[in-house]
């Protein structure tokens, strides 16, 4: 190797060695930082307080109690009167348990209240839509429509056949919306307004003669009659027709006999009606529509009322008359206690109002407003308003069942009064005397002439102790988590330090190799210099 090449190699090795030394310094600096982090974590661990479980002895106290022969009482708290007199020196808070007559309100899920429902349809509304598209599915007997409403919005609707054969509510709703019946209320002239001719078997009303509908021998007439009455058709009754309307003679006789009620003059109607669940339309109106035509549908509000409440589930109910209420004093005692507790701060305002409405302004019971039933051997009470709330829930939009029994979603409120073991607290002035050991030995209250001997016992406050244990468990979990986090961070630091140490050892090995090679180069350079001088010296 020539002198110039040796010198260049030596300079290259010197630069690399300097770079290795610089890298070693940087690694040492990183290891120092890791060491400082590890020390910080260790110091953090040293400053952490180790949770200690509570001692049960820290949650014990002296409890004073006494008995008057019937009831055992406990002193809960006491404080000394500021101005001590000869009779009393402390104000004492004590408690005891006794059976307190208490009014209760309970909730019965799925009450299955059975009653007679009377529909009251009102607020008839006609809605107009412009038909955009219509298709009919004969298998499902449904119409799929695309309509434009009054706000120029496109809506999709499916109209299916009404259930007028089984559902009486649907029949009544169709009667109201499409004016299919005329109700004639009972009056003293009804027997002369409706004249029945036994020989001709006809009914004359309003100048028109209604003839008996022979359903046994005329299938077409039977079909028309069934379609017109729907779910209200009864094969056991006799029907008469003037060709346009029907009268049911059995219903007419019932109204005349009872001198109360309505007679329905029903139009002959063999149309089919379809609904989207809210609005209704006759099939002939639907079939005659073309794209661009105006489609008119109808809807009405129903506010049904209920009467003749029969049962709650399988429990028969009894409507309490004024005589029932007066004849059994326990009923009045129970109801008055229930009303009192419902009126209390922790009572129920709705229940209070419903029960209060069973009495007039003078507090006299209004006959027939309360109902009584027995369930699981116990007597309970409820009101018509409570049962109506459950019955009405069967007709809400959220109702999913097809009948009012299985779809009563609102729980039934019902009431009773029972004796409940209740904590009773009292605050009284007292004279408390101590024994020689500084403990109270006797007590005499302001409303009692007897001096009672106090029993002293050390009791454990279980609630406070359990709270302290729960706090300890929580703090221990927090402590264990923090320790685990510190250990995890420490392990990461140690792993990083081991990697840096390994790299530092590799740099040390490389530096030794560079040093050896630099010494070899230096010898070559020195030898070349010596040889050069010797050559020129000769």
Kindly report, residue by residue over 405-426, the tens digit of the pLDDT. 667 888 999 999 999 999 999 9
How much is the pLDDT for 92? 95
- Residue 78 forms part of a structural domain: no
Which of 339, 405, 461, 406 shows the shortest CA–CA distance to 115? 405
- How high does pLDDT run on average in the chain? 89
Kindly report, residue by residue over 185-207, the tens digit of the pLDDT. 999 999 999 999 999 999 999 99
Taking CA atoms, 187 is separated from 243, 251, 263, 264, in Å, by 26, 15, 11, 14
Mean pLDDT, residues 288-315 taken together? 93
- Residue 65 forms part of a structural domain: no
Domain boundary among 255, 289, 306: 306
Whether residue 301 is found in the same domain as residue 316: no
Mean pLDDT, residues 310-328 taken together? 94
Which of 455, 52, 111, 56 shows the shortest CA–CA distance to 310? 111
Higher pLDDT, 409 or 175: 175
How much is the pLDDT for 396? 66
The pLDDT > 70 percentage for the chain reads: 94
Whether residue 410 is found in the same domain as residue 501: no
DSSP letter for 59, please. Answer: G
Kindly report, residue by residue over 466-493, the tens digit of the pLDDT. 999 999 999 999 999 999 988 898 889 8
CA distance 4 to 186: 137
Read off the pLDDT band of 520 (50, 70, 90): confident
Kindly report, residue by residue over 90-105, the tens digit of the pLDDT. 999 999 999 999 999 9
Read off the pLDDT band of 16 (50, 70, 90): confident
Question: Which domain range does residue 266 map to?
Answer: 119-306
Whether residue 406 is found in the same domain as residue 521: no
Whether residue 327 is found in the same domain as residue 354: yes
Whether residue 29 is found in the same domain as residue 148: no
Q: How many domains does the chain have?
A: 3
Kindly report, residue by residue over 444-460, the tens digit of the pLDDT. 999 999 999 999 988 88
Identify the three-state secondary structure at position 109: coil
Mean pLDDT, residues 327-347 taken together? 91
Whether residue 367 is found in the same domain as residue 513: no
Whether the pLDDT of residue 401 is over 50: the answer is: no
How much is the pLDDT for 399? 46
Domain boundary among 265, 284, 306: 306
Whether the pLDDT of residue 440 is over 60: the answer is: yes
Kindly report, residue by residue over 355-400, the tens digit of the pLDDT. 999 999 999 999 999 999 999 999 999 999 999 999 988 876 544 4
CA distance 461 to 465: 6
Beta strand 181-185 with 262-267 is: antiparallel
Which of 399, 375, 368 shows the shortest CA–CA distance to 312? 375
The full DSSP string for 220-272 is HHHHHHHHHHGGG--TTS-EEE-SSEEEEHHHHHHHHHHT-SEEEEEEP----
Taking CA atoms, 341 is separated from 351, 355, 389, 460, 500, in Å, by 10, 11, 22, 34, 78
Read off the pLDDT band of 146 (50, 70, 90): very high
Whether the pLDDT of residue 536 is over 60: the answer is: no
Read off the pLDDT band of 70 (50, 70, 90): confident
Which H or E run includes 178?
helix 168-178
- Residue 506 forms part of a structural domain: yes
Domain boundary among 420, 450, 476: 420
Which of 252, 381, 243, 378 shows the shortest CA–CA distance to 309? 381
Mean pLDDT, residues 501-523 taken together? 79
Least confident of 37-46, 71-80, 278-287, 402-411: 402-411
CA distance 94 to 480: 44
Within 10 Å of residue 355's Cβ, how many Cβ atoms?
27
- Residue 169 forms part of a structural domain: yes
Whether residue 145 is found in the same domain as residue 291: yes
Whether residue 358 is found in the same domain as residue 289: no
- Owner of token pair 């209060």: 356
Q: 370, exposed or middle or buried, with CB in 10 Å at 0-12, 13-18, 19+?
A: buried
Whether the pLDDT of residue 128 is over 70: the answer is: yes
Long-range contacts of 440-444 (CB under 8 A, 24+ apart): 440/64, 443/64, 443/66, 443/75, 443/92
| Range 162-197 burial, b when 16+ CB lie within 10 A, else e | bebeeeebbbbbbbbbbebbeebeeeeebeeebebe
CA distance 527 to 495: 48
Mean pLDDT, residues 19-31 taken together? 82
The whole-model pTM stands at 0.63
How much is the pLDDT for 405? 67
- Residue 95 forms part of a structural domain: no
Query: Tokens at residue 527, please?
Result: 């030898």
Which H or E run includes 172?
helix 168-178
Contact present, 505 and 20 (Cβ < 8 Å): no
Higher pLDDT, 402 or 35: 35
- Residue 518 forms part of a structural domain: yes
Read off the pLDDT band of 79 (50, 70, 90): very high
Identify the three-state secondary structure at position 51: coil
Whether residue 19 is found in the same domain as residue 166: no
Whether residue 391 is found in the same domain as residue 404: yes
Which H or E run includes 111?
none
Mean pLDDT, residues 317-322 taken together? 95
Higher pLDDT, 117 or 148: 148
Whether residue 283 is found in the same domain as residue 226: yes
- Residue 238 forms part of a structural domain: yes
Identify the three-state secondary structure at position 179: coil
Contact present, 447 and 428 (Cβ < 8 Å): yes
Identify the three-state secondary structure at position 50: coil
Whether residue 189 is found in the same domain as residue 327: no
Query: Tokens at residue 286, please?
Result: 């639907």
Whether the pLDDT of residue 214 is over 80: the answer is: yes
- Residue 390 forms part of a structural domain: yes
């Amino acid at each position: 190797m020539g002198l110039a090449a040796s010198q260049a190699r030596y300079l290259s090795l010197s630069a690399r060695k300097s770079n290795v030394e610089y890298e070693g310094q940087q690694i040492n600096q990183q290891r120092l930082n890791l060491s400082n982090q590890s020390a910080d974590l260790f110091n953090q661990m040293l400053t952490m307080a180790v949770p200690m479980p509570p001692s049960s002895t820290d949650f014990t106290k002296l409890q004073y109690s006494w008995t008057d022969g019937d009831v055992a009482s406990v002193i809960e708290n006491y404080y000394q009167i500021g101005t001590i007199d000869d009779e009393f020196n402390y104000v004492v808070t004590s408690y005891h348990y006794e059976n307190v007559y208490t009014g209760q309100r309970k909730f019965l899920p799925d009450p299955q209240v059975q009653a007679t429902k009377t529909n009251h349809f009102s607020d008839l509304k006609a809605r107009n839509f412009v038909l955009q598209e219509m298709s009919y599915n004969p298998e499902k007997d449904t119409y799929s429509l695309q309509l434009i409403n009054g706000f120029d919005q496109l809506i999709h609707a499916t109209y299916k056949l009404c259930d007028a054969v089984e559902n009486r509510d649907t029949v009544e709703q169709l009667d109201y919306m499409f004016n299919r019946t005329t109700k004639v209320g009972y009056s003293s002239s009804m027997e002369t307004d409706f004249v029945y001719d036994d020989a001709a078997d006809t009914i004359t009303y309003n100048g028109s003669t209604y003839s008996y509908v022979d359903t046994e021998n005329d299938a077409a007439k039977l079909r028309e009659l069934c379609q017109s009455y729907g779910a209200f058709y009864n094969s056991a009754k006799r029907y008469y027709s003037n060709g346009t309307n029907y009268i049911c003679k059995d219903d007419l006789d019932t109204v005349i006999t009872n001198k109360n009620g309505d007679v329905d003059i029903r139009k002959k109607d063999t149309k089919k009606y379809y609904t989207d669940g809210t609005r209704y339309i006759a099939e002939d109106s639907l079939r005659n529509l073309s794209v661009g035509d105006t489609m008119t549908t109808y809807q009405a509000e129903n506010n049904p009322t209920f009467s003749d409440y029969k049962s709650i589930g399988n429990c028969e109910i009894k409507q309490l008359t004024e005589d029932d209420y007066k004849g059994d004093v326990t009923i009045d005692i129970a109801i008055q206690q229930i009303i009192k507790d419902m009126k209390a701060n922790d009572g129920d305002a709705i229940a209070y109002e419903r029960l209060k409405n069973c009495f007039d302004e003078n507090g006299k019971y209004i006959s027939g407003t309360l109902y009584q039933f027995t369930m699981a051997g116990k007597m309970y009470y409820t009101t018509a308003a409570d049962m109506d709330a459950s019955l009405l829930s069967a007709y809400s939009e959220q109702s999913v069942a097809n009948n009012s029994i299985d779809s009563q979603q609102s729980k039934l409120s019902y009431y009773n009064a029972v004796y409940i073991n209740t904590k009773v607290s009292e605050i009284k002035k007292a004279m408390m005397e101590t024994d020689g050991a500084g403990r109270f030995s006797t007590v005499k209250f302001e409303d009692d002439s007897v001096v009672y001997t106090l029993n002293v016992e050390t009791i454990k406050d279980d609630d406070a102790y359990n709270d302290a244990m729960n706090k300890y468990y929580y703090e221990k979990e927090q402590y264990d988590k923090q320790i685990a986090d510190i250990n995890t961070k420490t392990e990461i630091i140690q792993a990083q330090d081991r990697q840096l140490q390994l790299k530092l050892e590799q740099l040390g090995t490389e530096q030794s190799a560079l040093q050896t090679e630099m010494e070899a180069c230096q010898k070559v350079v020195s030898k070349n210099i010596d040889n050069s001088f010797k050559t020129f010296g000769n």
